[in-house]
Structure 1
Amino acid sequence: MASKTKLHPRNLHLDGYDFERLVAKTPELEAFMIKNPVGQSTVDFQDPMAVRMLNRALLRTHYDIEFWDIPAGYLCPPIPGRVDYIHHLADLLAEDNNLQEAPRGRHIKALDIGTGASLVYPLIGQSAYGWNFTGVDVDANAVKSARQIRDVNKLDIDLRLQNNSENIFRGVIQPDDVFHV
């Protein structure tokens, strides 16, 4: 596996993917496995179904998300990059609060504007740091998908639909809401 040296040092995907472990946790990934030109196991990253299945396997294996799926036509975000974003947010929180380590726990409140059908930032942020997430989106179908992911996995993530895309914060952020990130 080729090292992905540009990823955050705490990123679980820094050294690439352990496809054997991923397939063991998500056997349906096996159908999408191929060999690259040098004979290494991988998936065809041009195949949307293969990428979707890889994401499912990564979330199940590394973040304890048993169910994850998105409707056709919705963004299938690359998990390692999204993990990096969460780790960098954690670093910023630590720095802003003069902490030696990234803050963990439900007292950290995170707002995900445009959470999408994948709910990926709240899933990773809760798993990696135990943060308390509120996800907001203007797309009712995306929120429906996110709710299904949340509910099937029995997660405590607040999801809010914003009916006015011109005014993303109005009505979904309440006067008593406090968000750290």
Structure 2
Amino acid sequence: MMNHTERRRFFFAAAITVVAIPALLVSGGSGGGEDDVASPSAAPTTVDPGPADPAFLPPEDSSPAPEIITVNVPAPPSGTVIKGIASFIRWPETLGLRPCATPNALIGSIITVTNLNNGRSIECNNVSIERLPGEAVIIIHTDVFLELADLVDAPIPVQISF
């Protein structure tokens, strides 16, 4: 604990600090050199800024737009037939489509799926070309899959054509 003398010293140092720091900041902290003296020959000038550029226009020295590169991807041959395994998945919103997914056809292709166990066929719209889990060649929306087989029969052997 501080005695009476130490408390007075501490208060005095704090008071000096509180007064000295703002005084140094206001004066700029310089020693009064020649930099602070304004030259008498300098006349004040006014600058007319002119109208401001619209905020929505890009700066004039902006870089050029990137070049669009065209990549040609060959379409799979029409009339392609693939045999494999089919399973099902429930898409949350089908928007009137009969969705299915296979990486073997282009997005938007109409795919004919035939169940090799019972001969039933359906047509569906390819909505994804992502890699499928396991050995499946196609995944079909549950409501459409029910036209091929019962859900408990999945996965089923199928032949797809597009």
- Per the normalisation by structure 1, the TM-score is 0.20
Task: Please state which structure has a larger fraction of its residues in strand.
Answer: 2
Larger radius of gyration: 2
Q: Which structure dedicates a bigger proportion of its chain to helix?
A: 1
RCO (CA 8 Å, sep 6+): is it higher in 1 or 2?
2
TM-score (norm 2): 0.22
